[in-house]
Chains A and B, each alone.
Chain A
């Protein structure tokens, strides 16, 4: 078996992984990125909308500041986020946007003068200031007080990813694409790298690393209707969960995007609504203002998705062979706007739906989109439980999103967390030497080899991996969707436990020679079932409604009992995760309160006064985060 040694190992080479890699490589450390696909194909590339950062250049973002951004984020999270982290994020986001601009991202810029924009289908005029001409522009997104989302047309993910990947090339980051991490190498205290499978040859390889980062994105593929790419199967989370000592945070917090298209589930950006698109029902009636008079289509995603589902349940959805859906209307934005600023949307509609959005309505429905939960890390991105293990981006529960993330905040998180966590990793590397243990590596390897042998020989059963996957999909879709209740969730938990047991007996139906795609699924499916179990079980136990987690049987947000984060551990040999809870935030810069949209009752919590004070240490750390980074 080939063994690689490196200072930093990034599992995943999307925006978060590459941003960390660039930070480490610029500091002079050897860095290897593992990726299932070539880095530029990472799912980050599909992010269309933009990145939120309070630059306040656009006239509609006038007066914006990190404080307002922070408030929006905390409200959006329904007070489920870690406020120290959200603060670091909001305060450093503008720096990171400027930094990637310095590296080559062609952000759209402010053009002085009057321009027309649409809100709720009606045209308005705004005049950009002359003194802001040429600075980074912003567009409107849901759940925000100001126009704050920096963008490059509707290919923001693509352009930032291209730029970061080019920096990886420049600074000599080694990329091992078509490589899939299968298990972490650890001794119960330290993480020392991972065992990975080469997707060209099917061979196993070992990677020893002083610091290991998991940045593999979300686990949307546990659902069948998801906007996520086919590689978003939670591979990194599975590796971490399998160690038994690293917990997943808030796995029940799953976001459904209001505008997944029907039937292909491809996302059309929130920018459509931000730029003035409206949602219509079967009678082509604009219904959102009835539910949300103030924000209408631009309330936060959890609220819009819920209202859409509610409206369809009233029988006002459009019937189709693929199930009910609603309409997204962007026709009034005009040919130029649609074919320029919303060009990907135009292409998607034309190529995948056969719909021309300039003249026709786009069929949409809420679709699984984002995992707020993931590997629980501390403020510095270090995973709970194992030293030397880090996580960033969607894979992590750094937890600036709490129970609902705002559009444009996740894409920004990838690079903002990437920069911040990257600096922490550099600091860790400068202060730590690790002795790599061959025994630990061998343990991980033997376990994996045995598992592969089980699958190849079929000695433990004859289950089909694809069939198990389909069953898992239907459980998640039917019982762990937008609206949840105790009965359904219990069914999901039971059914998933059964699938978990059956997953041990997976056997290959085809020849194992060389790389075999069936083997990839076979190796993954058990872990995906485990992640689904964490989601379903966490959702069952959380007897309140918060953000995207909506319990019909517990409709109120219960701050008294549930101002907490779920941590799911998986002890070896168990059939269910072990859940423990921690405080949602170390301190509350903004005390829990009303979001201002979404409605719903709140059961308040009497927090002691000292919980509202910001510790000195946190303030100092924030100051360092905003500096050039020499202090670290």
Chain B
């Protein structure tokens, strides 16, 4: 049962003064195991070589091809057409700067966010000794860190975030969870106060309104909801340190999902 697909694509070239934003329709035949990667390339190869979209690894690992597919941000390369209705609407991701058609500038956005939150392990690089054995770590902890390191910065969580849509300066789930990754890494020597400095504000963790669009669209199924909760609680408790009794803070720390600096 091979269908005829009707694919409606957002078209606009900001660098062409004659171009205006509009939707353009393409009709193609569906094949078995067809993905949007195959469909879009077919459209570009056979119908319109000027169509702009981003693909790189085409295996769901690099994060290039985030776009809004029938209203939901997702990765085009691992979306199979058989899971979609015959009419497919494609938009570029909102929030990010549009470069043309389905292509947006996620690279600049994430680099800026990374700079703001100082997204690197704050250790002592000069202390590295090539002759010494590596510092030991529990395998379970390494796996926990990697779980958050799997983020591919596709931008879906940002585009699916109501707060980010309203406020340009919101750092989004990807950045906050990046800090969570550092917070659980014993090699990062920053304290809770330091983390508070970078995301303890309304642009960071307190700006999150718990809408969970991020959690529901994340193509890598990173546990964003739990980590956002952990970070918010950790930093709220940090802010009332010395006001609330220590016993209350400690008991709240261990409710629900939590992780600790090892």
Contact = CB atoms under 8 A, between A and B. Distances in A.
A46 B62 CA distance: 7
Interface in A588-632: 626-628
A354 to B, nearest CB: 6
23 contacts: A38-B153, A41-B152, A45-B61, A102-B123, A102-B135, A104-B185, A152-B146, A155-B149, A158-B150, A169-B111, A178-B105, A178-B107, A202-B15, A230-B56, A264-B35, A347-B60, A352-B60, A510-B48, A514-B13, A514-B14, A515-B15, A515-B99, A517-B50
A344 interface: yes
Nearest to A101: B134
B248 to A, nearest CB: 33
A116 interface: no
Q: Please provide the 7 A-B residue pairs with the shortest distance between their CB atoms, ordered closest to farther.
A: A514-B15, A38-B107, A134-B136, A166-B120, A104-B121, A510-B50, A518-B49
B124 to A, nearest CB: 9
Interface residues of A, number: 75
A103 to B, nearest CB: 6
Contacts of B204: none
Interface in B146-197: 146, 149-153, 185, 187-188
B100 A515 contact: yes
Contacts of B14: 514
Chain B CB count within 10 A is highest, among A106, A354, A515, for: A106
Interface of A: 26, 37-43, 45-46, 95, 97-99, 101-104, 106-111, 133-137, 152-153, 155, 158-159, 162-163, 166-167, 169-170, 175, 177-178, 200-202, 229-231, 263-264, 266-267, 321, 340, 344, 347-348, 351-354, 466, 509-511, 513-518, 626-628
A354 B136 contact: no
A43 B57 contact: yes
A466 to B, nearest CB: 6
A626 B61 CA distance: 33
A351 B33 CA distance: 10
Contacts of B115: 169
B150 to A, nearest CB: 6
B134 A229 contact: no
Contacts of A155: 146, 149-150
A624 B135 CA distance: 24
Given A169-B111, A201-B15, A229 B32 contact: no
A516 B137 contact: no
B6 interface: no
B215 interface: no
A95 B130 contact: yes
Contact of A37 (B60, B62, B114, B187): B62
Contacts of B146: 106, 152-153, 155, 159
A106 B128 CA distance: 16
B78 interface: yes
A231 B64 CA distance: 11
B152 A45 contact: yes
B130 A98 contact: yes
A218 B49 CA distance: 25
A38 B111 contact: yes
A45 B51 CA distance: 26
B17 to A, nearest CB: 9
B136 A41 contact: no
A514 B128 contact: no
A397 B16 CA distance: 42
B145 A41 contact: no
Contacts of B188: 104
Nearest to A36: B56
A42 B57 CA distance: 8
A102 B35 contact: no
A43 B58 CA distance: 10
